[in-house]
Amino acid sequence: MSDLSVFSLAGKRILVTGANTGIGQGIAVSVARAGGAVIGVGRSAMDDTAEKVAAVGGRFEAVAADLGDPAKAVAMLDRVWGESGPLDGLVNNAGIIRRADAVDLTEADWDDVMDINLKTVFRLCQSFSRRVLAEPGRRGKIVNIASVLSFQGGIRVASYTASKHGVLGLTRLLACEWASKGINVNGIAPGYIETNNTEALRADPDRSAAILGRIPAARWGRPDDIGDAAVFLLAPASDYMHGAVMPVDGGWLAR
């Protein structure tokens, strides 16, 4: 391999959940820029992502799915694999957040977050890996999107913090089970990124200033900051990485 080819995704098919906006969109565009074909999954329109992928010369296939229902998520992955061909990578990015004081958080808000952020992540990892393991010699790469709140507590986001701690542990567990079988499982822990999930924080002048004041890079992250890290974890350059969850946080956790 040439020096640059180890960072290429040419000829690879990568499924990215939550690709309609934010971090998922950034990952989709970065994958396309690296030469990969993107299968973007979400419950809302992904026209904007498709246009951005086309602008960098990439290929994009939009797949509608309700990721809040783990069974439907698995059926979607199986359908994609069966109808349009094997996948080389899976990026579990889709996630939601519910903000409330812990004493006020409802059971519905707990369950909704855990179903999408953790249960569906596990079920998609499971389905993807069953397919990979069924074909001798096939390799696969999984990238789970965790959070700096996989390492910290946060405030007013009990179900989100619990789910992201779960993603960290699950990533390590699956890596231990599958590393010797040709499947890399790693993760990314984004810091404070300019997305819909952080819109409420960025709209609060005091909270936004407090967050920005702690980030050594002195800026909020951008979706492509996460996208480019995902490309590394999907590409041959990371073949000896297993169970790693990389903070991409502008130095937040180092502070």
User: Which residues are designated catalytic?
Assistant: 160
Instruction: Please report, as a single letter, which amino acid is at residue 158.
Output: A
Q: 83 burial class (0-12, 13-18, 19+ CB within 10 angstroms)?
A: exposed
**Residue 71, both tokens:** 């069974």
Query: Between helices 223-234 and 22-33, what is the axis angle to 10°?
Result: 50
Q: What is the CA radius of gyration of the chain?
A: 17
Phi and psi torsions of 30, nearest 5°: -65, -40
CA distance 141 to 182: 8
Give the residue among 36, 18, 23 at the shortest CA–CA distance from 231: 36
